[in-house]
């Protein structure tokens, strides 16, 4: 009975957020199409000239701008069925109902005033502002080296490109905002309800997400939290593993149940035929097809190559990569020496979290093998987790005052 009572607040928040998501989408579709049409047309003209997948500056697959999806997002601002009411239009989103399309809540009102070039500039400003605040809070609540590793990790994702692409941008904004909330509330008298926190993050990410690289909104905050638990609460392996498991489950349930809620709403508003169309797509994503057969190991390889800036024809020399990483780790360990065994073991759950991207690639293999040129960014969790683990196990030099 006690466990059921603990679930009641989670269920209440879940239902409230689903209602908020649904109503916010319906409300923005009350904006007359005539108000946004001129800016939509201007935006599409600009993006048509740029091309479907332009590569600026770096000319690598890992730096592609996904104009194809951004165009779809902007085109969907104009409903292609005039006889739909705002609720039907907000659920259908031009016959693409399997996602929430939460970006509409931002893009539709903004497109009344701005076109794509101005919106990219605004997005860039918000991106860097939230990135700075989250890094500053990390330096304040953890220590400067953790914040530096965080900045290095995010910077490695070609943030010049990320800040100018709507599809890439939204997941990072969820990441930055969730970190700011966690770090702002951490350490206060009232403890953070981590189950609630991660469930809400998973729900908000699903609201905006296109399966881009959602796992970063779980992995990076969780790594920070696990590190803080060892430092502040002297958590051992068992406590941290339990926190890792329950937090991950809360995020996963929030993410999945938000998706399922959208499918249920679609059936109620548009009819059962849309549900079966969605199930066909789900089956395709999980099992592949004759044209796109699943290659789970190949998916991991493609994403690794994109992450390491290796072109399609290139070969990753694993022996060299492993030797360099081992040499760096050995040098650091010899120079600073490691902490006691108990503390080292307590940090091991961070390494488990660092493996989450590869679990994601194995489950969502179809999507990740086709869109590897942006899904590779999920591995930011791996980079950040590995670096934080190394910093965590090394002894700190004591200064004599």
Task: 240-246: list long-range contacts, CB under 8 Å, 24+ apart.
Answer: 240/346, 240/347, 240/348, 240/349, 240/350, 241/348, 241/349, 241/352, 243/194, 243/349, 244/349, 244/352, 244/353, 246/194, 246/195
- Positions of the chain with pLDDT under 50: 399-401
Q: DSSP H helical segments within 271-316, as ranges?
A: 272-287, 296-307
Instruction: Read off the tokens for 309.
Output: 């800036």
Instruction: Read off the tokens for 389.
Output: 């683990």
Instruction: Read off the tokens for 213.
Output: 């690289």
Classify the C-alpha dihedral 363-18-35-271 as positive or negative: positive
Position 335 scores a pLDDT of 67
CA 94 – CA 102 distance, rounded (Å)? 14
pLDDT, tens digit, 9 for 90 and up, residues 176-192 = 999 999 999 987 666 77
Classify the C-alpha dihedral 258-249-356-160 as positive or negative: positive
C-alpha neighbours within 13 Å on the C-beta side of residue 365: 18
Neighbours of 212 (CB within 10 A): 24
pLDDT, tens digit, 9 for 90 and up, residues 372-397 = 989 999 999 999 999 999 888 887 76
Neighbours of 337 (CB within 10 A): 10
CA 77 – CA 306 distance, rounded (Å)? 32
Place of tokens 């789900």: 282
CA 213 – CA 226 distance, rounded (Å)? 21
Position 400 scores a pLDDT of 45
Position 337 scores a pLDDT of 74
CA 212 – CA 223 distance, rounded (Å)? 20
DSSP state for residue 62 in the 8-state scheme? G
Neighbours of 333 (CB within 10 A): 14
Position 310 scores a pLDDT of 73
pLDDT, tens digit, 9 for 90 and up, residues 213-270 = 999 999 999 999 999 999 888 888 999 999 999 999 999 999 999 999 999 999 999 8
Closest CA to 99 of 248, 212, 225, 209: 209
Task: 60-65: list long-range contacts, CB under 8 Å, 24+ apart.
Answer: 60/309, 60/311, 61/306, 61/311, 61/312, 61/372, 61/373, 62/158, 62/306, 62/307, 62/309, 62/373, 62/376, 63/158, 63/161, 64/161, 64/373, 64/374, 65/161, 65/164, 65/165
Closest CA to 164 of 55, 26, 294: 55
């Amino acid at each position: 009975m006690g466990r059921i009572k603990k679930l009641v607040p989670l269920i209440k928040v879940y239902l409230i957020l689903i209602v908020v998501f649904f109503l916010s989408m319906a409300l923005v579709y009350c904006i007359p199409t005539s108000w946004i049409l001129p800016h939509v047309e201007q935006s599409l003209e600009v993006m048509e000239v740029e091309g479907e997948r332009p590569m600026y500056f770096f000319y690598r697959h890992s730096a592609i701008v996904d104009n194809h999806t951004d165009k779809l997002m902007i085109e969907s601002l104009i409903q292609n069925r005039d006889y739909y009411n705002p609720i039907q239009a907000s659920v259908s989103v031009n016959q693409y109902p399997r996602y929430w399309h939460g970006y509409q809540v931002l893009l539709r009102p903004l497109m009344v005033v701005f076109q794509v070039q101005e919106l990219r500039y605004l997005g860039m400003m918000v991106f860097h502002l939230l990135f700075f605040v989250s890094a500053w809070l990390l330096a304040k609540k953890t220590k400067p080296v953790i914040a530096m590793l965080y900045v290095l990790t995010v910077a490695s994702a070609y943030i010049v490109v990320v800040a100018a692409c709507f599809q890439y941008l939204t997941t990072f904004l969820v990441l930055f905002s969730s970190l700011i909330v966690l770090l702002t509330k951490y350490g206060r008298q009232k403890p953070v309800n981590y189950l609630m926190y991660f469930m809400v993050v998973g729900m908000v990410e699903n609201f905006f997400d296109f399966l881009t690289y959602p796992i970063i909104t779980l992995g990076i905050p969780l790594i920070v939290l696990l590190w803080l638990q060892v430092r502040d609460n002297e958590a051992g392996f068992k406590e941290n593993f339990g926190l890792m498991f329950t937090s991950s489950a809360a995020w996963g349930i929030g993410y999945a149940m938000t998706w399922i809620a959208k499918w249920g709403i679609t059936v109620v508003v548009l009819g059962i035929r849309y549900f079966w169309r969605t199930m066909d797509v789900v089956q395709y994503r999980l099992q592949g097809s004759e044209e796109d057969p699943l290659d789970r190991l190949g998916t991991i390889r493609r994403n690794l190559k994109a992450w390491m800036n290796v072109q399609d024809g290139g070969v990753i020399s694993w022996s060299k990569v492993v030797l360099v990483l081992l040499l760096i780790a050995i040098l650091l360990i010899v120079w600073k020496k490691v902490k006691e065994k108990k503390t080292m073991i307590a940090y091991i759950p961070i390494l488990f979290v660092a493996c989450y991207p590869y679990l994601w690639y194995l489950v969502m293999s179809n999507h990740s093998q086709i869109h590897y040129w942006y899904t590779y960014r999920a591995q930011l969790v791996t980079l950040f987790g590995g670096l934080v683990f190394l910093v965590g196990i090394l002894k700190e030099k004591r200064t004599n005052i």
